[in-house]
Amino acid sequence: MPFLELDTSLPAGRLPPNLAQDLCAMAAAILDKPVERVNVTVRSGLPMVLAGSAEPCAQLLVSSIGVVGTAEQNQQHSARFFDFLVAHLNLLPERIVIRFYPLEPWQIGKNRTVMTFL
């Protein structure tokens, strides 16, 4: 069950209208998970500083069970997420950062229990 949180200093009006849905579909393909299990949050217009600069930027947090736990996995994921974000946000790669966090099944609650028992 992947979770993606995209924070950006770009105003909402500069984002593509279907960004959250497109990011959801792309994440499902990149992480090889069903789209029905992918959760996406997009927050825009945030005051942000990246690498000491307040120029437009974005930060993507990707957390999931089993697919973001190694450097090799994340190197492949990173390239594909960067391609998506550069194309959709019209930002240079230097103005984007991605953080990967592996999750354990007991850390995600669903249907009054945790994923361990589902």
CATH topology of domain 2-117: Macrophage Migration Inhibitory Factor (3.30.429)
- pTM of the predicted model as reported, rounded to 2 decimal places: 0.95
The predicted structure's pLDDT at residue 54:
98
Q: What is the dihedral of CA 25, 2, 68, 59, to 10 degrees?
A: 70
CA–CA dist 18, 38 (Å, integer): 15
Compute the Cα dihedral for 105, 70, 74, 67 and give only its sign. Answer: negative
pLDDT, one tens digit per residue, over 2-46 is 999 999 999 999 999 999 999 999 999 999 999 999 999 999 999
Phi, psi of 68 (to 5 degrees): -130, 35
- pLDDT tens column, 61-117: 999 999 999 999 999 999 999 999 999 999 999 999 999 999 999 999 999 999 999
